[in-house]
Amino acid sequence: MGPVVVVTNEPIGRRMASAASRAAHVARVLSVRHDVELVSCQAKSVSPIDGRAVAGPDRLASLAAKASAIVVQRNVLATQPELASIEAPIVVDWFDAASPHVSSASLAADARRGDLFLAANEAQRLHWAGLLAGVRNLSSEDANRLIRVVPSGTAPEARSGRQPIRSTFGSIAPHDPIIVWAGGIHDWLDPTLVVDALPLVLERVADARLVFLSGPHPNTGIDTMGVRGEVITRAREVKLFGTHVLFVTSWVDHGERLDWIADARVAVVADHGRFESTLAERTRLLDHAEAGVPTIGTDRDPLSRGWAANGAGETVPVGDVSAMADAIVRLCNDDVHHGELVAGARRLSSNLRWEDVLEPLVQWLDRPPRRSPNEGGSAATPRRNRQRVPRVAVRVGRIRRRATDRLRGLRTRSRHE
The CA-based angle 40-45-48, given to 5 degrees, is: 100
Which pLDDT belongs to residue 85?
A: 93
4-153+355-411, CATH topology level: Rossmann fold (3.40.50)
pLDDT at 39: 98
Cβ(370)–Cβ(379) below 8 Å: yes
Closest CA to 188 of 234, 228, 128: 228
Task: Return the pLDDT at 4.
Answer: 98
Q: Which of 301, 283, 181, 298 has the alpha carbon at shortest distance from 232?
A: 181
Q: For residue 224, what pLDDT is reported? A: 65
Identical fold for domains 4-153+355-411 and 164-350, yes or no, is: yes
Q: Answer whether 77's CB lies under 8 Å from 98's CB.
A: no
pLDDT exceeds 60 at position 365: yes
With bands split at pLDDT 50, 70 and 90, how would you rate the model's confidence at 222? low
Q: Going by DSSP bridges, is the β-strand pair 53-55/45-46 parallel, antiparallel, or unpaired? A: antiparallel
Q: What's phi and psi for 133, nearest 5 deg?
A: -60, -40
pLDDT band at 60 (very low <50, low <70, confident <90, very high): very high
Alpha carbons within 13 A on the beta-carbon side of 29 = 22
pLDDT digits (tens, 9 = 90+) for 373-406: 444 555 444 433 433 334 444 444 454 455 445 4
Q: What is the average pLDDT across 121-141?
A: 94
242 — pLDDT class (breaks 50, 70, 90): very high
- Rounded Cα distance, 314 and 297, in Å: 7
How far apart are the C-alpha atoms of 230 and 146, rounded to whole Å?
41
Describe the chain by its helix, strand, coil percentages, rounded to 5. 45, 15, 40
How many CB atoms are closer than 10 A to CB 130? 13
Model pLDDT, residue 292: 97
Are 111 and 105 in contact by the 8 Å Cβ rule? The answer is: no
Residue 206 confidence (pLDDT)? 97
- Closest by Cα among 293, 216, 222, 206 to 247: 216
Domain range summary for the chain, segments of one domain joined by +: 4-153+355-411, 164-350
pLDDT band of 351, cuts 50, 70, 90: very high
185: closest CA among 261, 249, 262, 260? 249
Confidence (pTM)? 0.87
pLDDT value for 209:
98
pLDDT digits (tens, 9 = 90+) for 252-305: 999 999 999 999 999 999 999 988 888 988 999 999 999 999 999 999 999 999
Which helix (H) or strand (E) segment holds residue 7: the answer is strand 4-8
**Mean pLDDT value of segment 49-78:** 96
Please choose, from the candidates 260, 282, 261, 263, the residue with its C-alpha nearest in 3D space to the C-alpha of residue 271. Answer: 282
- Residue closest to 180 by CA, chosen among 24, 288, 91: 288
pLDDT of residue 71: 98
**How far apart are alpha carbons 276 and 99 in whole angstroms?**
6
pLDDT-derived band at 1, boundaries 50, 70, 90: confident
| pLDDT higher at 250 or 196 | 196
Higher pLDDT, 4 or 188: 4
The pLDDT value recorded for residue 405 is 52
Is the domain spanning 164-350 CATH 3.40.50.2000? The answer is yes
